[in-house]
Every structure is written in C-alpha cells, then in structure tokens.
Amino acid sequence: MSTPSVETQEWVKQLRKQLQKASYAYYVLDNPIMEDAIYDRLYRELQDLENQYPQLVTPDSPTQRVGERPATQFQSVRHNIPLYSLENAFNVEEFAQWQQRWQRVVPKEEFAYVCELKIDGSAIALTYENGILVRGATRGDGEYGEDITQNIKTIRAIPLRLTADPPPAVVEVRGEAFLPLDVFHKINREREANGEQPFANPRNAAAGTLRQLDSRVVAERHLDCFAYTLHIPGEEETEMAATQWDALEQLHALGFKVNPNRVLCRSLDEVRDYYDRWEGDREALPYMTDGVVVKLNDKGLQAELGFTQKFPRWAVALKYAAEEAPTVVEGVTVQVGRTGALTPVAELSPVQLAGTTVSRASLHNSDRLAQLDLHLGDTAIVRKAGEIIPEVVRILPELRPQGAIRFQMPDRCPECGEPVVKPQSEAVTRCINASCPAILRGALIHWGSRDALDINGLGEKLVEQMVDRGLVRSVPDLYDVTVEELAKLERFGKKSAQNLVNAIAESKTKPWSRVLYGLGIRHVGGVNAQLLAEKFPDVDRLASASIADIEGIYGIGLEIANSVYQWFRVCANQGAIDRLKTIGVQLSQQPQTETTGDRARSSNLTGKTFVLTGTLPSLKRSEAKQIIENAGGKVTGSVSRKTDYVVVGEEAGSKLAKAQELGITLLTEEQLLDLVEN
C-alpha cells in the first residue's frame, strides 16, 4: 500500500470539508452553494483518492454514506437514554387537563411551550463520539432497538460529523426519519409497475426502508430527517441548551435539520392557535403530520417532572381528529383477555383508513354493542382511536340488508365454555373460570413480561403450547416445568429449554414491586405496584390491609384499592401466593444484591431526592443513580428546594453552587455509599 504525500492528505481533507459543507447547505439549509456537476466532480475525485489510498478513508467521509455490501442482520442494542413514547391528547381541552396534571406536581406560574409538527415517520436514535456519528438505531421498544448505522448514513440530512469545534465528547440526538410525500408516491408507482405490493403509508414505508439489509436500497429511497431532542451527558448539556428551544437551535448549529415550523408559545391560547392553524395547513406540507408535539421549554422543569412508566410528564402529542371510513361488517368474533374480559371484534371488508388497510375493529363491550344495535351485514363507520386501534364509531341502519341478524354476546366463554357474567357496575362481560385457558395464557405472558418478572424466552406461542399440553395450570406451575418437558414442545430444543428453565429460576430474585405488578391485579400498573410495595413492604401486610389503608396512599384511588382488596379475598389467589412463597419468589422488600457495584438493596433513602454533579471517583452516574433508586431514593436533574442531597464529584458545575446557595447537604461518593449501607 503506497503512502500518500502530505499535499494529498491535505487535499483529501479539504475535499471532504467542502463536500460536507455543500451537502449541509443543500439538504439541511435548502440553500445550495455548489452546482450538482461540480459536487459530482469533487465527489469522484475524493472517491478516486480514497480508493488509491484506503488509509485516508474516515467514518465521516461523504463516500461512506452507502455501504459496499448488504448486511446479513441487525444487532439489538440498548439505548443509552430510553426513547419514551408520548401521551396523547385529542383536543385542546385534553391538553389543558394535561397542563393541570403537571402543575399539580410542580406548581409554576410562568412557563413556555415549544410546539413542533408531529412527523408521521420512524423514530431514530443517533450517537456521536468526538463529533463523529458512531451509531444509529431504531426506536424498538424504547429500551432496545436495532443498530442500523449503515442505513442512517444514507440520510443526507443527518451529519456524519458535527460542525462544533471542539465537539462534546458524547452527543445523543433523537429524530424522526420520514419519506417526503413525492418520494413516497414515486416509490409506490414503481412498485405497482413491477407487480409489487405498494406501501400502505409513508410511516410504514419509512420504517421498512430503515430496516433494509442493503443500504444501497435505502439510499435510493431518499429518506429525510428532522432532529428534535439533544442529550449531552453532564453539565455541558445545560450550558449548551438550557431550554428545548435552545436545544433545537443548537441542533441546527451542529448540522441537523430541524422543523422550520416550530414555535415558542407563552400560553394555552397560543398553543391552540398553532394547533388550529396547522389542522388545515398541514395538507400543503411535503410530508405527513398527524398532530402537534408540545414540550415544556424549561429543561430544569422537564428534569423535575421526570417520567411516568411510559411517558415524559413534560411533553404531550396533541393529535388531530382521526380519519373515518365506511365498510361492511362481515362477522363478529369474541376474544378473551387475561382478566377474563370478553371483547367483541368486528370482522370487516378491508378498507383504507389513515393510510393503512383495516379489516378488524374493536366493538369494546356488550354495552357498546347495544348502543350500536349491530347487525351482521351492517355498514359501519370506522376510525382509528388515537390513530392506532380501529374502532366502530356508528352504524348506518338505513343501509342494513333485509333479514340481517342482530349480534348477541355469548352467554358462555368461547374459550372454555363456562358461563360468563356481567356485573351491574361494569360494561364488560367476563369469564370467571380461573382455569380458563385464555385467562391462564394471558396471566403467564403478563408474569413473564419485561416490566414484571422479565422471563426471557417465555413468548406467546410457547405459552400457548404449555397451556394446551397441560404443562402449566397456574403461574406457580411455571417453576415446576422441567427441561425434558419443554424439549418435547414444537421448535424447542434442549438448549432453549435449559435457557428458559434458568430464566424462570432467575426470576425468583426480581423485587417485590415487580412481582406485585406481575400478579396481574386489575388496574395495578408498574407505577402503582411500586407505590403499593413501598407502603406495604411484604405481601402479608398488603393482603391484610383494608380498602382505606390502600386508598390512603398518594396516587392510589378507590377503584385500585377495591381491586387489590378483592384480589386478596379470592381463595385461588391466596393459594397461588402460598405456593409462590414456597417456591422462593420475592414477596417482600428483602435486601438483594445488585450487579451494579454489588451494593445491597435497602430502603434507607426512601422518599429522598438526590442530584448528581461532577465526575465521581469510581462510579459512573448511571451506577450511582441505580444505587440510589435501589435504596428507595429519587434522582433528578436539577437542584431545587425539594432536593435533599447533592452528590458531588470532580469538576462539579453550577449545580454545586446552587446547592450551596440553598444550603442543601453535600455528599461525596463515599458518604453516599455509607448512607446507603447504614
């Protein structure tokens, strides 16, 4: 391999710099500074030099946007920062209710919102190290996504190198990749001409494109991207962007494309005006949008509000009304959920709705059926609730065929054949047979879900086989299943069986709050389970608690309290708890050894609020945060009068000064660990 001259090396750097500058002007600023022919000539010259001197190729070179060979698969990667979905509001009144909710948590008189159009695309996560793009990933389930870096590099609106000099050591950027409408229609025309199935909508097309194994195909589809969130570990983030508006401006300065239609609003009226304006004007946009994303502008306030189990409390998606379409009801099937609820589902003549083909729609319950007066063969108006779940809105009786039969809910469970009941206080018809296969399948899947006992490998199809073959008749039976029994199931070898048995055994160590959530008590989600576990540190105390005791917990209402109380009065549930105790599942807040730092779980810090600042001697921030949370504490991103402790490391920044000003107790790493252990 020949060695390039110093002049050649410098010329390659200049070529790369000029091409990056021209690409940024064209794709991000929409203001070309170089004719296409000149760009192509310079690009070819750079390409030729890199072919001649491969040692000059860098990850941020414009020639590296398209890979040479297709990938064979995508690797699953864990996001450094989770990608939360947004809570939805479907009108300005619901938005006002969201505003009232967060103000109850953090009362504040003056605040501002940043409004951006909600792009109908596919969320992506980008990681830059020392200014260079090192990873691009799909959203996935919010915690884990797929590494699609090579495909991300084909999107010209995403810089391979940040323009900051010097750049932060690590930058995390969130964005939305999308297909412009003209590109989407062009692709579909080509697919139809080639006898291929057209994409249902731009969102599906964008998601499918990002997961193409051949990045050359991705490049041909000309995806675009808007960046909307900036994360920089440590103090540097607040220094660069103290507000959401600053973050968008900073993203633009770093070389990203941000939505030009963003606006800073000072009141609910201004948000309403923005929302109303774009409800009509969005039809003229070159991309699809289905609403407005509203975020609190103050980053400190965002940190103080934090997150629920699913959503950030400081942001909401204000959605536009869903599209509606007529279709014919060809039949009705009844599904049985894990709580025994019977849900009727309309089987429809396929219809296009909000860009997707819909052939089934929820009818909710027997009360809703009675309101609709549904007959088989009726013409129904269908829409997507939250633009996700299709539902029947109304029936057009004037189009009802002669002799049509009215649909009636079954009086016996379609899964087990036992009689069903409909409590007077509820709209839902239920199967109350605890041995019903549908209820058992749902209970097992819920027990093994990630937020509950997190049993890797316990999937829906496997659970179905285990129930159908009689291997398990209750949740505790899971812990008696053997490798030999599992190895006899379809598509399940001895190694897979052993891995599942190991995962089931490991689930015994999961904390009491997750076990409580896994029990599947109606209305008890992950957050409520945590609140209950903190108040009642073992199952016996919770089982003997009165409705008033349970309802007395802040955040727990009467409906939840009633549900928990009644659950522990059922003999079958009492028997299950006794068996789980014998098995060794954690039904109390007993100390557990954590992998992070091998620190013991305790409750010494329950209710205390911590802030971390600076670099700690031996712990990463994520490790310190985990230790605090395992001990019952809470970690926030900003110092306020509600902060109990500030943990201080080297090169502590403004948070230390704020803590000193407010007289908040300061801790070293060693003092923090002593506090946890004593």
- Residues annotated in a binding site for Zn(2+): 413, 416, 431, 436
Q: Is 118 a catalytic residue?
A: yes
Neighbours of 497 (CB within 10 A): 20
Residues making up the binding site for NAD(+):
36-40, 85-86, 116, 139, 176, 295, 319
d(CA 508, CA 537): 17
- Quickly tell me which residue has 């946007």 as its tokens: 65
d(CA 73, CA 212): 9
What is the number of alpha carbons within 13 Å of residue 379 lying toward its C-beta? Answer: 10
Q: Which two tokens stand for residue 194?
A: 């080639």
What is the number of alpha carbons within 13 Å of residue 333 lying toward its C-beta? Answer: 8
Q: What are phi and psi of 38, to 5 degrees?
A: -70, -45
Whole-angstrom CA distances from 20 to 13, 26, 163, 231, 241 are 11, 10, 10, 23, 25
Whole-angstrom CA distances from 412 to 117, 244, 419, 467, 646 are 48, 55, 4, 20, 60
d(CA 503, CA 487): 15
Neighbours of 573 (CB within 10 A): 16
Q: Are 368 and 374 in contact (CB under 8 A)?
A: no
Q: Which two tokens stand for residue 180?
A: 């412009």
Residue 576's contacts (CB-CB under 8 Å, 6 or more residues apart) are 474, 475, 476
- Give the per-residue SS3 of 447-500: HCCCCCCCCCCCCHHHHHHHHHCCCCCCHHHHHHCCHHHHHCCCCCCHHHHHHH
Residue 517's contacts (CB-CB under 8 Å, 6 or more residues apart) are 451, 452, 524, 525, 526, 529
Helices of type H across 265-401:
268-281, 299-305, 366-372
Neighbours of 44 (CB within 10 A): 11
- Can you point out the beta strands (E) in 266-340? 289-296, 315-319, 324-336
| Cα dihedral value 130, 132, 137, 142, nearest 10 | 30
Of the candidates 21, 118, 257, 495, the residue annotated as catalytic is: 118
Residues making up the binding site:
36-40, 85-86, 116, 139, 176, 295, 319, 413, 416, 431, 436
Specify burial of residue 260 (Cβ count, 10 A radius: 0-12, 13-18, 19+): exposed
Which DSSP category does 519 fall into?
A: T
Q: Are 619 and 597 in contact (CB under 8 A)?
A: yes
The DSSP secondary structure of 595-612, one letter per residue, reads: SSTTPBP-STTTT-EEEE
* Helix/strand/coil percentages in the chain, nearest 5: 40, 20, 40
Q: Which residues form the catalytic set?
A: 118
